[in-house]
Amino acid sequence: MKFFISADIEGTTGCLNWDYTMGKSREYEIQKEIMTQEVLSCVKALTKVHPDCEILIKDAHHYGNNLDIRIFPKNCKIIRGWSHKPHSMVQELNETFDAILFIGYHNAATMSSTPLSHSFNGSKFQRMRLNEEICSEFLFNYSIALHYGVPTILLTGDMGICEEVRKKDSSIHTVYTYEGVGESIITKTPESVYDEIYQATIQAAKNIKKISPTKKPYTLQIQYKKHTDCLKASNYPGSRMLDSVTLSLSANNILELEKAFLFL
């Protein structure tokens, strides 16, 4: 068995604000440890159910060097940094994987379920929609996995993104880490979340259903924070400005769209 884990930090336990996500702060040092332990809980459970499995982990936050690689077992490989290829947070994902799992994910830009809600470039994009749905990083990456016929079996993150995920596909196991209230969060403890991730991954890994690839057209709508960014992006072939800050672009499938997204 081959598993792919994409790991972010904003939806990990106790992640309150941007101080916890980057820089030289003590908060970030602690949060990296929590992120590492959450991914490790998932790895331990996958390996318990499938002792011969291979696990590829994309460290998919900021500079891509958050995880403490020293404590992961031999059956893991970890992708650090950014390739600048279109898959980005799911770099190297392809049809050879049996399932994908998302750890530490967060709700989409403009959603109120976490103080840290954003979609990809938070300083540039006000809101994104993918085929009319408000687009989180999860929805985008999930769509790439669908293209390859790789089932998503688990997601952990803030309570709001977990609800969105279950609406999308009720077969995906979710573990919520905290509930956002304005600029505050009501967080579970790491001890409780590590255990819940382990148990949920065990359940998810025992019951993996094969799915066929879904290759379909997508339309991405991006609402920019600055009208000048929208105007600049509108030079991309095939894109269309809907108003001074909103751009629309359609593609035959998600792989074509994600390539274009690199330039928007």
Task: Supply the minimum distance, in Å, between the C-beta of residue 89 and Zn ion.
Answer: 9
**Which one of the spans 2-10, 40-48, 64-72, 109-117 is the region binding Zn ion (CB under 5 A)?**
2-10
Closer residue to Zn ion in complex, CB, 61/127: 61
Write down the H helix ranges in 121-253.
137-148, 159-168, 190-206, 227-233
Strand partners of residue 205: none
Task: Supply the minimum distance, in Å, between the C-beta of residue 10 and Zn ion.
Answer: 5
Strands 133-134 and 125-130: antiparallel
**Which one of the spans 10-18, 146-154, 182-190, 192-200 is the region binding Zn ion (CB under 5 A)?**
10-18
Closer residue to Zn ion in complex, CB, 11/151: 11
Single-letter code of the amino acid located at 251: A
Strand partners of residue 14: none
Distance CA 257, CA 264 (A): 10
Tell me the DSSP string of 75-123: TEEEE-S---STTGGGTT--TT-SEEEEEEE-PPTT-TT-TT---SSTT
Copy the structure tokens of residue 1: 């068995």
Residue window 30-69: x/- pattern of binding to Zn ion, with contact defined by CB under 5 A: -------------------------------x--------
Task: Supply the minimum distance, in Å, between the C-beta of residue 112 and Zn ion.
Answer: 18
Evaluate whether 103 touches 6 at the Cβ level (below 8 Å). yes
Copy the structure tokens of residue 31: 């949060």
**Which one of the spans 8-16, 138-146, 159-167, 209-217 is the region binding Zn ion (CB under 5 A)?**
8-16
- Interface positions, 13-32, toward Zn ion (CB under 5 A): none
Task: Supply the minimum distance, in Å, between the C-beta of residue 199 and Zn ion.
Answer: 25
Closer residue to Zn ion in complex, CB, 58/61: 61
Helix-helix angle 254-261:137-148, to 10 degrees: 140
Rule CB under 5 A: is residue 8 a binding residue for Zn ion? Answer: yes
Q: Residue with CB nearest Zn ion?
A: 61
Task: Supply the minimum distance, in Å, between the C-beta of residue 9 and Zn ion.
Answer: 5
Closer residue to Zn ion in complex, CB, 50/61: 61
Strands 2-7 and 152-157: unpaired
Task: Supply the minimum distance, in Å, between the C-beta of residue 66 and Zn ion.
Answer: 9
Residue 193 CA, distance from chain mean position: 18
CA dihedral 62, 65, 68, 73 (to 10 degrees): 110
Closer residue to Zn ion in complex, CB, 14/149: 14
Closer residue to Zn ion in complex, CB, 128/245: 128
Closer residue to Zn ion in complex, CB, 6/201: 6
Task: Supply the minimum distance, in Å, between the C-beta of residue 107 and Zn ion.
Answer: 12
Residues of the shown chain interacting with Zn ion in the complex, contacts defined by CB under 5 A: 8, 10, 61
